[in-house]
Amino acid sequence: MSELVVYGATAAGVAAAVAAARHGVEVTVVEPGRHVGGMVSGGLGYTDLGDPRVLGGLAREFSVAVGEYYGVAPGHYAGPEPHAAEEIFRAWLDRAGVRVVLGTALASVDTVDGSITALRGTDGRDYRAGVFVDASYEGDLLAAAGVGYRVGREGRAAYGETLAGRREPAPGKHNFPPYLSPFAADGSLLPLIHDRPAVDVGEGDGGVMAYGYRVCLSRAADRIPFARRAGYDEAEWELGRRYFALLDRQGIKVAAAELLGLVPNLPHGKCDGNSIGPLSLNLLDGTNWAYPEADAVARERIRQRHRDYTRDFLYFLGNDPAVPELVRREIAEWGLPADEFADTGGLPHQLYVREARRMLGEYVLTEHDLLPAPVPKYDVVALGSYHVDIREVRRTWRWVYEHPDPIASVFNEGYLSVPVRPYPIPYRSIVPRYHQCANLLVPVCVSASHVAFSSVRMEVQYQMLGHAAGLAATLALATGRPVQRVDVAELQDRLAAEGQVLA
């Protein structure tokens, strides 16, 4: 029996485990996949930071470790190569003496009197501990323990947020030009469009931000070309062909960097491929909406759909005659790096789950805590600073009422970017309500609205919250108290002593 069990070897999970183990706590990390680091080692090399002044604790230590790994100053690169991130995390876990169990998912949870007593893994073993941390992107442990949560965007009425709910389509780089038809010749809807009736503007619909694979790309001589997949479907890319044809009619020139973010922003000339244009690495056909609460089989089917889409998107951009020649030429210079993700065919091992479950904890962080000005919190354990960054939620269509007849037009909906000032994240947002579970900490699926979560959800902030969760677990174990009743002032003192920025 360990004193602390961490479910999910994400960067937050690693931080929680290491923070506790350094204080002598016996820690076991249980991870469903075969890798540690989550998105940090799974394609998201570029570090979304916000205000660099908030960087502290183990997140700052990771930045320093990346600099030492490459022999450069911290922050010299936008982030590490995926394999380098995993090497650093594995070294941390080894030095701290953390036991890591890979390839084991959550099967069930035992609880007694509002506390978790055991996490049963798919390996048939029971993992018992005094305190548990759910560091998964999905929030599976908190759900299995009976902790309340939400999925998807709420309506404005839920918390009185002006930015909540379904949004009107907004022009910009993430949206299509007007009058792109959604219909095939036979009147059916084209692929890659979410065919579901829309709720009124401002209402909630449970929609989650788009998922995708943040591919790592290379121009090295041994790069793996973007090949045509056996199941590639020409018909699926008619929307893309129409998009490029519309741009051509309007005299708009587009480069590959505007579709994929082809910037060598990682060491050794590698690129963290991001989702930029209206047709991107983000899959917006609604496939991911079911993912947060899906079972293991359905989730794997959704991940496979995203993997197939990613391969097909890269092949389409590099080979379809409808794609501008300049784009095809630029794409041809890149490929998947031969020295990354060897066991997953060159694509990352981690699907970018931008949001799944969000805990309904002791305090729900909302838009009002971030905007227009930050609201002080007595129990601050980390600072957030990244802008409200809601990525597209769905691709759909509407009638545009132009004279003399309405015109059907495709659009992406949900995107929003609003700057914030550094704001406090309270301890109460990483603990469940006391009556639901007394020995669980949640540094990833934090208690926040869809709007506020879109700012918190950055890996640097997850690492800082993981650090706080690990130290809080240490205090709870030492005092025998529920996690809701640890001495927050002592927790803050320990965090500050370990470099966490709290003000």
- The structural domains of the chain, with segments of one domain joined by +, span 4-153+358-385+421-497, 168-201+210-353
> What is the C-alpha separation between 9 and 11, in angstroms, rounded?
6
Q: Per-residue pLDDT tens for 266-276?
A: 999 999 988 88
Which alpha helices (H) appear in 280-407, and where do they start and end?
A: 296-319, 325-332, 367-370
Q: What is the per-residue pLDDT across 192-208, written as a single tens digit (0 to 9) for each?
A: 999 988 899 999 999 99
pLDDT band of 47, cuts 50, 70, 90: confident
Please report the pLDDT score of residue 262 as a whole number. 87
Q: Is the pLDDT of residue 241 over 80?
A: yes
| Closest of 450, 45, 393 to residue 211, by C-alpha | 393
Identify the CATH number of the domain defined by range 4-153+358-385+421-497: 3.50.50.60
- E strand or H helix at 166: none
Q: Which pLDDT does position 78 carry in this prediction?
A: 87
Tokens at 421, concatenated:
């000032």
pLDDT at 434: 97
Q: Please state the length of the chain.
A: 503
**What is this structure's pTM?**
0.97
Q: Are strands 131-134 and 4-7 parallel, antiparallel or unpaired?
A: parallel
The residue-averaged pLDDT of 110-119 equals 97
How far, in Å, CA of 97 to CA of 292, rounded?
32
Q: What is the pLDDT of residue 245?
A: 97
Distance CA 192, CA 185 (A): 16
In angstroms, the Cα distances linking 378 to 151, 158, 375, 451, 489 are 28, 24, 10, 22, 9
pLDDT for the residue 422: 98
Please answer whether residues 499 and 55 qualify as being in contact, where contact means their C-beta atoms are separated by less than 8 angstroms.
Answer: no
- Residue 172 in this model has a pLDDT that exceeds 90: no
24 band by pLDDT with thresholds 50, 70 and 90: very high
Q: What is the mean pLDDT of the chain?
A: 96
For residue 261, name the pLDDT band (cuts at 50, 70, 90).
Answer: confident
pLDDT value, residue 166: 94
Q: What is the pLDDT of residue 238?
A: 97
Confidence of residue 156 (pLDDT cuts 50, 70, 90): very high
- What is the pLDDT at residue 442? 99
User: Average of pLDDT values for 417-427?
Assistant: 97
| Across 299-325, average pLDDT | 98
Classify residue 289 by its DSSP letter.
G
Express as a percent the part of the chain with pLDDT over 90: 91
What pLDDT is attached to residue 2? 83
d(CA 41, CA 172): 30
Indicate if the pLDDT at residue 364 is higher than 90: yes
Q: What is the pLDDT of residue 257?
A: 87
